[in-house]
């Protein structure tokens, strides 16, 4: 993907902001720091003042802002997590809290806000603009890759690679003991991580949400018995966490009770959210951060800076909220063929 040409501006354009803020919200994702760095440095390049808001929308309401300079974001591109910290702010579901946040921003003479986060964070941002006319731009940052309207979200590639590394290791022990492993990956209700990890990790089967538990168990048992009959001594099954706690553990118990299969369970969990961001995540975060600032400088707002047909694109925020990206279920069939 090519970077867009950025012409040096002499101070902000008349329609654009003079001062912006940036925050991270929702689950942290590797690459968020690269996005913060890009926003801060591009804003300064364009002659804007830029503030970091600590702890997402909670920090916005508490007024924990810090004026950033070029050195504030030094040596962070390679770090996981987020230097700004993040939060899931329940208060922000209230209209009055969003109005208060805009009041605080205006009092600090901040004209626009860049929000790095997932769909929940986007909803808060969109409503801030809709209800109070405050300029916002979103950058999709979540390992789940489930933000509607964008082919990519920051953190997805690192999470997938972390899960793959774990699966390669689990395969060694699965093979040594001739065992079946159920490996649960994150993604909340989205199957994007499971699909990508399943195909790339050579999983025998990928379990995704959508069917009843009984149907999932019967399908899985059938597929594992078929693999065993074909001479496979060990199997890796990638399970999407499905938004239900204990889902995979229960799956293992049911397989044992109903079908006499005795799988081991590995829940990868928060491991997938940490670690050094991959080149892909740093690069995408850098391009998205730069584009977010360009959009604001050019007087645009209420946008998500996503990826469409492989290129950085501006998507109206209102089109991204309250919707979920559909996983490509053809990948399940492909995984089965490749694992045969």
Closest distance to ligand F6P from the beta carbon of 188 (Å): 4
Looking at the Cβ atoms of 273 and 282, the one nearer to ligand F6P is 273
Instruction: Select from 37, 98, 188, 282 the one that contacts ligand F6P (CB under 6 A).
Output: 188
Looking at the Cβ atoms of 187 and 201, the one nearer to ligand F6P is 187
Annotation says 144 is catalytic: yes
Instruction: Select from 22, 40, 68, 143 the one that contacts ligand F6P (CB under 6 A).
Output: 143
Residue 141 in contact with ligand F6P, rule: CB under 6 A: no
The window from 184-192, 209-217, 301-309, 327-335 that contacts ligand F6P (CB under 6 A) reads: 184-192
Closest distance to ligand F6P from the beta carbon of 269 (Å): 9
Catalytic residue among 87, 111, 144, 157: 144
Residue 301 in contact with ligand F6P, rule: CB under 6 A: no
Residue 187 in contact with ligand F6P, rule: CB under 6 A: yes
Calculate the alpha carbon distances from 51 to 103, 154, 187 in Å. Answer: 16, 21, 30
Looking at the Cβ atoms of 27 and 263, the one nearer to ligand F6P is 27
Residue 118 in contact with ligand F6P, rule: CB under 6 A: yes
CA distance 48 to 134: 17
| 224-243: contacts with ligand F6P (CB under 6 A) | 241
| Strand 135-140 to 112-117 pairing | parallel
Looking at the Cβ atoms of 35 and 42, the one nearer to ligand F6P is 35
Residue 314 in contact with ligand F6P, rule: CB under 6 A: no
Instruction: Select from 16, 27, 31, 56 the one that contacts ligand F6P (CB under 6 A).
Output: 27
Looking at the Cβ atoms of 135 and 273, the one nearer to ligand F6P is 273
Closest distance to ligand F6P from the beta carbon of 186 (Å): 3
Closest distance to ligand F6P from the beta carbon of 193 (Å): 7
Asked if residues 17 and 112 have their Cβ atoms less than 8 Å apart, the reply is yes
Residues that bind ligand F6P (CB under 6 A): 27, 88, 118, 142-144, 186-188, 241, 273
Catalytic residue positions, numbered: 144
């Amino acid at each position: 993907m090519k970077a867009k040409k950025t012409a040096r501006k002499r101070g902000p354009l008349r329609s654009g902001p003079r001062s912006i803020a940036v925050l991270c919200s929702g689950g942290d994702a590797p690459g968020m720091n690269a996005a913060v760095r890009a926003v801060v440095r591009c804003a300064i390049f364009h002659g804007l003042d830029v503030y970091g808001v600590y702890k997402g929308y909670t920090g916005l309401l508490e007024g924990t802002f810090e004026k950033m300079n070029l050195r504030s974001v030094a040596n962070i591109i390679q770090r996981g997590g987020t230097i700004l910290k993040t939060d899931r702010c329940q208060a922000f579901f209230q209209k009055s809290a969003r109005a208060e946040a805009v009041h605080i921003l205006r009092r600090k003479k901040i004209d626009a806000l860049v929000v790095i986060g997932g769909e929940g964070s986007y909803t808060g941002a969109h409503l801030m603009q809709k209800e109070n006319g405050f300029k916002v731009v979103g950058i999709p940052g979540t390992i789940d890759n489930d933000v509607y309207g964008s082919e990519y979200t920051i953190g997805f590639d690192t999470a997938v690679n972390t899960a793959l590394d774990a699966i390669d290791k689990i395969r060694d022990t699965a093979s040594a003991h001739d065992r079946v492993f159920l490996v649960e990956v994150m993604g909340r209700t989205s199957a994007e991580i499971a699909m990508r990890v399943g195909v790339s990790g050579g999983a025998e089967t990928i379990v995704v949400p959508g069917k009843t538990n009984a149907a999932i168990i019967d399908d899985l048992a059938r597929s594992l018995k078929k693999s065993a009959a074909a001479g496979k001594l060990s199997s890796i099954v990638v399970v999407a966490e499905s938004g239900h706690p204990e889902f995979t553990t229960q799956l293992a118990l049911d397989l044992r009770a109903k079908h006499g299969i005795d799988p081991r369970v590995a829940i990868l969990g928060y491991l997938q959210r940490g670690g050094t961001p991959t080149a892909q995540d740093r690069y995408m975060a850098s391009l998205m951060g730069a584009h977010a600032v360009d959009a604001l400088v050019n007087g645009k707002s209420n946008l998500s800076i996503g990826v469409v047909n492989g290129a950085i694109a501006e998507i109206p925020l209102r089109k991204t909220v309250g919707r979920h990206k559909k996983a490509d279920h053809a990948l399940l069939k492909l995984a089965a063929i490749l694992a045969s």
